[in-house]
Amino acid sequence: MCVGDYLDQLENQSIYIIREAKAQFKKPAMLWSMGKDSTTLLWLCRKAFYGKVPFPVIHIDTGRKFPEMYEFRDKWVRKWGLNLIIARNEEALKSGMGPEKGKLACCTALKTQALQIAMKKHGFDALLLAIRRDEHGIRAKERYFSLRDANFRWDYRDQPLEMWDQYEKASEEATHTRVHPMLHWREIDIWRYIKREGIPVNPMYFARNGKRYRSLGCMPCTNPIDSNADTIDKIIEELERTKTAERAGRAQDKEQAFMMQKLRALGYM
Amino acid sequence: MESVNVVFVGHVDHGKSTTIGRLLYDGESVTDDRVEEIQKYAEELKRRFEFAYFLDALEEERKEQMTIESTRVFFKGKNRLYTIIDSPGHKEFLKNMLTGASQADAAIVIVSAQEGIEEQTRRHVFLLKLLGIEHLVVAVNKMDAVRYQKEPFERIHNAMKEFLDSLGFDLDKISFVPISAIEGENVYRRSTKMPWAKKTLIEALDAIPIKSRELDKPLRFVVQDVYEVDGEKIVVGRVESGVLRKGAKGVFEPSGRPAIVQQIRVYEGERSEAKPGECVGVISSVIPRRGEVFGLAESPPKKVTEIKGEVVLLLDRLRKNETIVVKCGTAAVPARVQNILEKIDTETGAIVEKQPSVVDINEAALMVLSLREPMVVERYPDIPELGRFVIMKNGKNIGAGVALEVSS
């Protein structure tokens, strides 16, 4: 590739995939958790479509997100004119589902099932997600277009042949295709791009009183890390040195061996 | 910083994952909790700490001690960032190897000093040639098992050279290094046990020149879609080769409609030109359809109805006269397998059968595809980005090919 700048390469590849998703699917939507990755994906979608995102943006609301995340969401929905869909598993929330009942059960009910309910209601055939290969070993196995069966399951043992940007769409028996336009980005690339582009980020990523959030999830299951990085430059500097994993503060990855693999096989992001 | 995609190939158990694990560990590219997690896991199972576990994330992969899916990890060279794609060694996982290798700029071929060149070594190297990957580093691994002797290395070196030469590789673009991944000899640091080794694996990697897409190739702009923004139609797509310039006069193929590039648009505003790899929008005097390709009037895109190409099948077999779909660029056109000229052994590259009636999974063939309607396909040596195609059957990508001759 001749594009000199590395970030330009990443951006162009993502925009190509986002536009392929729009061209190939009848009813796509994207997932937005208000975290740095999905906000960057949203930014790339705005660029791909010249400012106006042509599909709905889904927020999976577990009711246990940080107040700052809801504030951030509502502000940018207004400013960017987004079509926001809030996905909640009301039944599970009413019955008092929470991490006390087991993290696998909680994530599955409040995230995976909430998403399933919304997908069914709206009939989306593709879902754009901001997952990256470097986040977790199991996510490294993903394709740009990844098929999900009727039960949302991902068959990682039998993935399609994906060469030369020729992606495979889900067939009839599958419910939908997951599209991963940012699979090739790294955590540090995200921050360098956020800096270059001036993408808004949730203030919780910046250090306050010696702590900051490196990855954002639900309140009960997300822990801040020790850090004094209170600017984007300092976060980039910290990432250049760190030897700790990005999702170290995310409890659902850790409860049991291969937790993430089990979650993802059940339809988790 | 330069960014290079490298793929690791080789026969099962010759140590691909271990070599990458060693590179990551010695290069300090692995996070602490990953090392801890793996140590804990190895203790639980009373197994030796395995470098391969850095890559093998799936439960069953660890149990079976092999890498099923192409995995990607990032890794720093001296002045470069490598994306390392680990490829599986089992025959049935060739599709994963190709999925990974199709994105690679260079390849590292791991050959065990004990076992030497085996079936998968040859098969993978053949496929690398088909994919157009020219730069290889052949790492002769498990040198510890042959007491770091020069002789077994030399033997494999010579046999490999002969094989690569027979496939048509340019030997100047290929280097050979002896390593012991398990002991860390000559991978990241120079080995005192092999003072005769000319360079380490990382040095060999860093010496691979980066292929840059040539700007002087004919312009090819592939249309992805047409958007309406504020009442204006924007043709979006990607420049695959050459340079797209404002004011360019050319033609969209296969419709054959002449057009002028009035403006080049990105989200931020107007641009005067766009280079290969760039996704831009064009305000054009005519509105093409998805799948069309724009080129300059003096070197228009090739509109073809027949492709003679080398095809490898990975997920399904193909019979003569069968109907398939050929996908190239953003176009997808139904086609018929008009003739299967030769079946090629993917292990040796040799022609094993003339005029076969069927080609099986994991086999390659030289075949003629006749397209139901015209599409743009270039000869692979001319413009690789539009000279390679994927074959779809019953909605599934089943194989891939490169066009050697095209005609209308």
The nearest alpha carbon in chain B to A245 belongs to B31
Would residue B130 count as lying in a domain? yes
Domain CATH number, residue B271: 2.40.30.10
A59 vs B74, more confident: A59
What is the spatial distance between Cα A125 and Cα A120, in angstroms, rounded to a whole number? 10
Would residue B345 count as lying in a domain? yes
Pairing of strands A174-179, A145-149: antiparallel
Please tell me whether residues B100 and B177 are part of one structural domain: yes
Low-confidence ranges of chain B (pLDDT < 50): 45, 58, 65-70, 89
Whether residues A16 and B68 touch (CB distance < 8 A) is answered with no
Please tell me whether residues B183 and B147 are part of one structural domain: yes
A215 vs B91, more confident: A215
**Looking at the partner chain, which of B32, B55, B98 has a beta carbon nearest the beta carbon of A161?**
B98
Which parts of chain A fold into alpha helices (H)? 6-24, 36-48, 67-80, 90-94, 103-107, 114-122, 187-197, 232-241, 259-265
Please tell me whether residues B180 and B100 are part of one structural domain: yes
**pLDDT computed for residue A182 by the predictor:** 95
Whether residues A12 and B34 touch (CB distance < 8 A) is answered with no
What is the spatial distance between Cα A36 and Cα A57, in angstroms, rounded to a whole number? 15
Pairing of strands B257-266, B269-271: antiparallel
**Looking at the partner chain, which of B30, B33, B229 has a beta carbon nearest the beta carbon of A248?**
B33
What is the spatial distance between Cα B187 and Cα B204, in angstroms, rounded to a whole number? 10
What is the spatial distance between Cα B207 and Cα B58, in angstroms, rounded to a whole number? 33
Please tell me whether residues B31 and B179 are part of one structural domain: yes
Q: How many CA atoms lie within 13 A of A150 on its CB side?
A: 2
**Looking at the partner chain, which of A1, A136, A261 has a beta carbon nearest the beta carbon of B213?**
A1
Report whether pLDDT(A74) > 50: yes
Whether residues A3 and B278 touch (CB distance < 8 A) is answered with yes
Whether residues B57 and A140 touch (CB distance < 8 A) is answered with yes
Whether residues A141 and B69 touch (CB distance < 8 A) is answered with yes
Q: For A27-42, write each residue's pLDDT tens digit.
A: 999 999 899 999 999 9
| Nearest to A128, CA basis, from A41, A33, A52 | A41
Q: What range does the domain containing B266 cover?
A: 220-296
Would residue B212 count as lying in a domain? no
Is B226 an 8 Å CB contact of chain A? no
- In chain B, positions 234-293, which contact chain A (CB-CB < 8 Å)? 234, 236, 238, 265-267, 275-279, 281, 290
Domain CATH number, residue B183: 3.40.50.300
What the block records as the tokens of A35 is 């975290």
Please tell me whether residues B281 and B174 are part of one structural domain: no
Whether residues B397 and A140 touch (CB distance < 8 A) is answered with no
Please tell me whether residues B63 and B177 are part of one structural domain: yes
**pLDDT computed for residue B70 by the predictor:** 45
- In chain B, positions 102-141, which contact chain A (CB-CB < 8 Å)? 102
Interface pTM (ipTM) of the complex?
Answer: 0.87
What is the spatial distance between Cα B137 and Cα B109, in angstroms, rounded to a whole number? 6
Would residue B27 count as lying in a domain? yes
Whether residues A51 and B41 touch (CB distance < 8 A) is answered with no
Report whether pLDDT(A4) > 50: no
What is the spatial distance between Cα B89 and Cα B67, in angstroms, rounded to a whole number? 8
Q: Of B296, B326, B350, which one is at a domain's C-terminal end? A: B296
**Looking at the partner chain, which of A1, A9, A23 has a beta carbon nearest the beta carbon of B224?**
A23
Please tell me whether residues B13 and B149 are part of one structural domain: yes
Report whether pLDDT(A69) > 80: yes
Secondary structure of chain A: what % helix, strand, coil (to 5)? 45, 15, 40
Please tell me whether residues B193 and B269 are part of one structural domain: no
Would residue B215 count as lying in a domain? no
CA distance B229 to chain A (A): 7
Within 8 A by CB and 6+ apart from A159, the residues are A141, A143, A146, A147, B69, B96, B99
What the block records as the tokens of A203 is 């203030």
Can the peptide bond before residue B254 be classed as cis, meaning omega within 30 degrees of 0? yes
The nearest alpha carbon in chain B to A132 belongs to B72
Whether residues A15 and B388 touch (CB distance < 8 A) is answered with no
Would residue B161 count as lying in a domain? yes
| Nearest to B328, CA basis, from B257, B284, B394, B383 | B383
| Nearest to B320, CA basis, from B371, B346, B345, B356 | B356
Q: Strand A174-179's sheet: what is its strand order? A: A84-87, A57-60, A28-31, A126-128, A174-179, A145-149
Q: For A131-142, write each residue's pLDDT tens digit.
A: 887 776 666 677
Q: For B60-115, write each residue's pLDDT tens digit.
A: 555 554 444 445 566 777 778 787 766 554 555 677 778 878 888 889 999 999 99
Please tell me whether residues B118 and B235 are part of one structural domain: no
**pLDDT computed for residue A256 by the predictor:** 52
Would residue B353 count as lying in a domain? yes
Q: Of B296, B311, B345, which one is at a domain's C-terminal end? A: B296
What the block records as the tokens of B319 is 């019979």
As for how many domains chain B has, the answer is 3
Please tell me whether residues B127 and B249 are part of one structural domain: no
DSSP H or E run through B223 = strand B220-229
Q: Of B153, B184, B206, which one is at a domain's C-terminal end? A: B206
Would residue B171 count as lying in a domain? yes
Q: From residue B257, give the alpha-carbon distance in Å to each of A215, B224, B225.
A: 51, 17, 17
Please tell me whether residues B9 and B134 are part of one structural domain: yes
3-state SS, residue B34? helix
Within 8 A by CB and 6+ apart from B261, the residues are B244, B245, B246, B247, B248, B249, B250, B282, B283, B284, B294
Please tell me whether residues B38 and B13 are part of one structural domain: yes
Q: How many CA atoms lie within 13 A of A33 on its CB side?
A: 19
Whether residues A156 and B234 touch (CB distance < 8 A) is answered with no
Write down all domains in chain A, each with its CATH number in brackets. 6-185+255-265 (3.40.50.620), 188-253 (no CATH)
What is the spatial distance between Cα A267 and Cα A14, in angstroms, rounded to a whole number? 23
Q: For A219-265, write each residue's pLDDT tens digit.
A: 778 888 888 999 999 999 888 877 666 666 665 555 455 566 666 66
Residue A143 binned pLDDT confidence (cut-offs 50, 70, 90): confident
Interface probe for A, chosen from B25, B227, B241, B402 (most Cβ of A below 10 Å), is B227
Report whether pLDDT(A154) > 50: yes
**pLDDT computed for residue A14 by the predictor:** 97
